[in-house]
Amino acid sequence: MRNDVFQDKIQIEEIIISVLKSIYDPEIPVNIYELGLIYNIEVDDEFNVVIEMTLTAPNCPVADNILNEVKDKVSFISGVKSAKVNLTFDPPWDQSMMSEEAQLELGYL
């Protein structure tokens, strides 16, 4: 892999994380990245992005909205060729997956 492609992939991933931090679960005042809902971000050499994520609960009433928002916002990042979001509940989400910032915001610390 060329070094410039490697650098671009790192930059794209940083932008993706920034975008994910702008998406909130409507019932929790913390973004989905800090909540620990994002399990993996994969960017291939052609800048196709696959995000593996979960939700706080399998029966989340706004699941489709959150998944669509993630896909749409990541798709609009300059340089991203395509974006796909895979939903998983393995492992199930729990409060220990939140960042310290999120735990502090929600009063767990």
Q: What are the pLDDT digits (tens) for 57-100?
A: 888 888 999 999 999 999 999 999 999 999 999 999 999 999 99
Q: What is the pLDDT of residue 70?
A: 98
Answer whether 20's CB lies under 8 Å from 6's CB: no
Q: What is the dihedral of CA 19, 22, 26, 32, to 10 degrees?
A: 60
According to CATH, the topology of domain 3-105 is GMP Synthetase; Chain A, domain 3 (3.30.300)
The rounded mean pLDDT for the chain is: 91
The percentage of the chain sitting over the pLDDT mark of 90, rounded to a whole number, equals 75
Listed in sequence order, the residues at least 6 apart from 36 whose beta carbon sits closer than 8 Å to its beta carbon are 93, 97, 98, 99, 102
What pTM did the predictor assign? 0.90
pLDDT in tens, 11-44: 999 999 999 999 998 888 899 999 999 999 999 9
